[in-house]
Each structure stands twice: as structure tokens, then as C-alpha cells.
């Protein structure tokens, strides 16, 4: 008998699998670290809808943008500005091939850096182009040369 997969409203709306506890912990730690250490250089935006060519309705886990002004009367549902960097965290039910496909799409649209986070392996792949990446794991000090960001992974995967 064939297994029937039922998607939640979250999965249908965002076009990606439901995040897990570890996904959420890692996402929060990355957002807090990046905001605390690089918040004056970048706007760190979790779960933001993108609206660039070929990226309509993409919702990366974390977007890294140039500083943004908070203007209450001028909000955007979808960001028209291309992010400088994007971070995707692999969910337990997600296919890594899907995230690698997104990686190539993001670079075609001008993203400078893409991080692929694998929580279960305590590993982050930092892409500087669709097929060019460095791997950082466990206690490594991640260095993203394109964005000038450094992160001690022990702080993220503790």
C-alpha cells in the first residue's frame, strides 16, 4: 500500500517541511549570534518571503540583508531586495537535494553567500558559489569571507 503524505498548513504555505525542535534551537542561536555580533552591519531576518526573479515565495530560514529602516507605515509582505546571504537549516523530513537546488537559484539571483546547516551532523556548509563551498563542523570556527562573518560553532551546537 502506498504511503499518503499529508502536508500541514505550515508546509503548504511556506513550501517547506515543518521544522523540528533542533531546527528551531539552531535557528534561534544563529539569529541571536548574528544580531548580537553583526547587527550593526546587517539586518538579520528570519522566515522572510522573497520576491526576486525566480525566487517568488521562497522563505529561507534566515536572510542576511543590508541594514533596513523600520518604517511602520511602509511594510513589505515579500522582500523585493536581494539578500546578501541566506541560511537554510535542514529539517528532519527535508531532502538535501531540494536545498542544493535552492542554493543554485539563490546565486543566480545575486545572493553572495549561502549556508546549509545540518543540525544532526553539527555541520554548516558555506557556499560562495553554487558549486564552491567550505565545510565547518562541531567546534570549528566558521568563516564566511564573502560577508566577513565568523562564528564559533561550539556556540551554535552546544
Instruction: Tell me the per-residue pLDDT of 123-158, one tens digit each, with 9 for 90 and over.
Output: 999 999 999 999 999 999 999 999 999 999 999 999
In a domain, 95, yes or no: yes
Beta bridge partners, 116, equal 88, 125
Residue 3 domain flag? no
Q: Are 38 and 44 a contacting pair, CB within 8 Å? A: yes
Specify the pTM: 0.88
pLDDT tens, residue by residue, 60-104: 999 999 999 999 999 988 898 999 999 999 999 899 999 999 999
Assign residue 93 the CATH number of its domain.
3.90.1570.10
Domain extent at residue 150: 17-68+82-156
Phi and psi torsions of 76, nearest 5°? -130, 130
Say which residue, 11 or 128, is predicted with more confidence: 128
CA–CA gap between residue 64 and residue 16 (Å, rounded): 19
Amino acid at each position: 500500500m502506498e504511503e499518503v503524505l499529508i502536508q500541514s498548513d505550515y508546509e503548504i504555505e511556506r513550501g517547506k517541511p515543518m521544522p523540528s525542535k533542533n531546527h528551531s534551537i539552531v535557528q534561534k542561536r544563529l539569529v541571536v549570534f548574528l544580531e548580537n555580533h553583526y547587527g550593526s552591519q546587517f539586518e538579520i531576518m528570519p522566515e522572510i518571503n522573497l520576491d526576486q526573479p525566480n525566487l517568488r515565495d521562497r522563505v529561507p530560514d534566515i536572510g542576511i540583508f543590508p541594514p533596513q529602516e523600520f518604517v511602520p507605515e511602509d511594510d513589505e509582505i515579500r522582500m523585493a531586495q536581494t539578500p546578501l546571504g541566506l541560511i537554510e537549516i535542514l529539517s528532519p523530513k527535508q531532502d538535501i537535494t531540494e536545498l542544493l537546488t535552492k542554493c543554485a537559484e539563490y546565486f543566480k539571483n545575486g545572493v553572495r553567500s549561502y549556508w546549509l546547516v545540518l543540525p544532526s551532523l553539527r555541520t554548516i556548509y558555506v557556499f560562495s558559489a553554487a558549486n564552491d563551498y567550505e565545510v565547518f563542523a562541531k567546534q570549528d570556527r566558521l568563516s564566511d569571507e564573502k560577508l566577513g562573518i565568523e562564528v564559533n560553532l561550539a556556540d551554535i551546537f552546544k
